[in-house]
Amino acid sequence: MNSYENEARRSAPLVGERGERRTRGGRNLVGFPAVSTPTRNRADALDFLGVDALLSEEERMIRDTVRRFVRERVLPDAGGWFERGEFPRELVPELGKLGLLGMHIDGYGCAGASAVAYGLACMELEAGDTGVRSFVSVQGSLAMYSILRWGSEEHKREWLPPMAAGERIGCFGLTEPDSGSDPGSMRTTAKTSGGDWILDGTKMWITNGGIADVAVVWARAEDGIRGFLVPAGTPGFSARDIHGKMSLRASVTSELVFDGCRVPRDMMLPEARGLRGPLCCLDEARYGIAWGAAGAGRACYEAALAYAKERTQFGKPIASFQLTQRKLVEMLLATNRAALLALHVGRMKDEGRLAPEQVSLAKLANVRDALEVARSARSVLGANGISLEYPVIRHMNNLESVFTYEGTNEIHTLIIGQAITGLSAFQ
């Protein structure tokens, strides 16, 4: 190709031949200088690094199914749920039917999918709304996984199948008003009395609390921290929803109060002892969050890219300004890197060689990046960036919760810091 042709190609507008707005799967938005082979590969404006090609057909089908579910069942109403502070409870059986609840658990009515497939599902769900993804994380990775990992065979048989089907909802109570990042300081107690357990204390910020049929509750017993299954309606157990949240509004967050709450002896999770009980469940959920955050970031980037190409100021699309392009490119960089990182830790998890501090790295990096992307996307949308007509402000606010729950940014920094220095800086 001579240099004249090369020049002509380079200056061609970066849109499809018919000037159409690009959607996923087309291949007409170009970022590379032209090369001389006629059949050169082109980078996709969304999946720039071609991460898609690293997925198996089955993984793509699972991803596409969730993406479609989100497009049809989540996105049309997500803004309204957020505005009204409403969790779409009617979705729960549908999530169960697809196989999203306890998706990576084998048996007990669960789908038994791979870690990567579970991650892809989290990514697509959170590209819809963080509230829906949080429901799935808490139900599957926290409540169901606690039962699977630490429960008795009877616990598993009784609770897992209906929870997988979305007929029963679970929550996971670890955090307390005075014990957040430092769960070892929890004050909720479990004492034995006449063959039963008596729970006393308060749990705070508990996702699904007010709608749960069963709470997995962590409490201090004589021999250390223990987990208990407390069905809703147990005398002495009450839940009060937390209002006035500016984040994760399409999700129920509650305070759980245990006041001399008596539960039968066999409602204790027999295999869990010490903080390892709840912490190993958190690892499961954090893994999904690393994927989910990548989805939220991607949704913000997509919204910003589409908007910037359409919005005209000073006689040009705002996408044509260098400052905007830089924002878009930074977003692209972050979202593609996040997808690669999530997939990498996913493959490691499927191979059984993922360490908790590596999950910390993925959670920390992807949530932080997604929040940056969301803020930058918000600025690209100008005034529309604060409107629920667009998904960006919703994601931006939601990500503030994701930044805090399942280990704050700081706590994950300290976990990684300890892993590389061998020195704990927690206290």
Partner 1 sequence: MNITVCIKQVPDPNQPYKLSGTRLDREAVQPVLDPGDEFGVEAGLKLAEAHGGEVTVLSMGPAKAMEAMRRALSMGAHKGILVSDEALAGADAQATAQVLAAAIKRNPFDLVIAGTESADGSTGAVPAMIAELLGVPQATFAKQLEVKEGTLTIHRQTQEGYDVVECALPAVLTVTSGVNEPRYPTFKGIMQAKNKPVEQLSAADLGLSVAASQQVAAVNPAPARGQGEIFEDDGTGAARIADFLKNAKVI
Ligand X SMILES: Cc1cc2nc3c(=O)[nH]c(=O)nc-3n(C[C@H](O)[C@H](O)[C@H](O)COP(=O)(O)OP(=O)(O)OC[C@H]3O[C@@H](n4cnc5c(N)ncnc54)[C@H](O)[C@@H]3O)c2cc1C
The yes or no reply on residue 69 touching partner 1 (CB under 8 A) is yes
Q: Which residue in 158, 176, 406, 410 is the catalytic one?
A: 406
Which of 23, 181, 185, 379: binder of ligand X (CB under 6 A)?
Answer: 181
In the complex with partner 1, the residue whose CB is nearer, 104 or 395, is 104
The least CB distance from residue 167 to ligand X, in Å, is: 20
In the complex with ligand X, the residue whose CB is nearer, 196 or 200, is 200
Which of 87, 145, 159, 172: binder of ligand X (CB under 6 A)?
Answer: 172
The yes or no reply on residue 25 touching partner 1 (CB under 8 A) is yes
Which of 173, 201, 210, 297: binder of ligand X (CB under 6 A)?
Answer: 173
Site pattern 117..136 for partner 1 (x: CB under 8 A): x---x---------------
Contacted by 300, from partner 1, ligand X, none: CB < 5 to 8 Å by type: none
CA distances in angstroms from 83 to 220, 267, 387, 389, 391, listed in the order given: 38, 38, 10, 11, 12
Which of 29, 98, 242, 306: binder of partner 1 (CB under 8 A)?
Answer: 98
Contacted by 57, from ligand X, partner 1, none: CB < 5 to 8 Å by type: partner 1
Name the residue whose CB lies closest to ligand X: 180
Contacted by 180, from ligand X, partner 1, none: CB < 5 to 8 Å by type: ligand X
The least CB distance from residue 204 to ligand X, in Å, is: 7
Q: What is the 3-state secondary structure (H, E, C) of the chain?
A: CCHHHHHHHHHCCCCCCCCCCCCCCCCCCCCCCCCCCCCCCCCCCCCCCCHHHHCCHHHHHHHHHHHHHHHHHHHHHHHHHHHHCCCCHHHHHHHHHHCCCCCCCEECCEECCCHHHHHHHHHHHHHHCHHHHHHHHHHHHHHHHHHHHHCCHHHHHHHHHHHHCCCCCEEEECCECCECCCHHHCCCEEEEECCEEEEEEEEEEEECHHHCCEEEEEEEECCEEEEEEEECCCCCEEEEECCCCCCCCCCCEEEEEEEEEEEEHHHECCCCCCCHHHHHHHHHHHHHHHHHHHHHHHHHHHHHHHHHHHCEECCEEHHHCHHHHHHHHHHHHHHHHHHHHHHHHHHHHHCCCCCHHHHHHHHHHHHHHHHHHHHHHHHHCHHHHHCCCCCHHHHHHHHHHHHHCCCCHHHHHHHHHHHHHCCCCCC
According to CB under 6 A, which residues from 188 to 217 bind ligand X?
205-207
The least CB distance from residue 364 to partner 1, in Å, is: 29
Which of 112, 180, 236, 417: binder of partner 1 (CB under 8 A)?
Answer: 112
72 noted as active-site residue: no
- Beta-sheet pairing, 237-241 with 253-264: antiparallel
The yes or no reply on residue 26 touching partner 1 (CB under 8 A) is yes
Nearest 10 degrees: Cα torsion 109, 114, 120, 122: 50
The yes or no reply on residue 57 touching partner 1 (CB under 8 A) is yes
CB atoms within 10 A of CB 265: 10
The least CB distance from residue 383 to ligand X, in Å, is: 27
**What are 208's two structure tokens?**
């699904």
According to CB under 6 A, which residues from 96 to 155 bind ligand X?
138
Which residue in the block uniquely carries the two structure tokens 């501090």?
357
How many positions of this chain bind ligand X (CB under 6 A)? 20
Which of 100, 367, 405, 415: binder of ligand X (CB under 6 A)?
Answer: 405
**What are 342's two structure tokens?**
């999530």
Which of 109, 180, 231, 417: binder of ligand X (CB under 6 A)?
Answer: 180
The least CB distance from residue 272 to ligand X, in Å, is: 15
The yes or no reply on residue 97 touching partner 1 (CB under 8 A) is yes
The least CB distance from residue 43 to ligand X, in Å, is: 27
Give me the active site residues, please: 406
Residue ranges in contact with ligand X by CB under 6 A: 138, 172-175, 180-181, 205-207, 248, 253, 401, 404-405, 408, 410-411, 414, 426
Residue ranges in contact with partner 1 by CB under 8 A: 16-18, 20, 23-27, 57-58, 61-62, 65, 68-69, 97-100, 103, 111-113, 117, 121
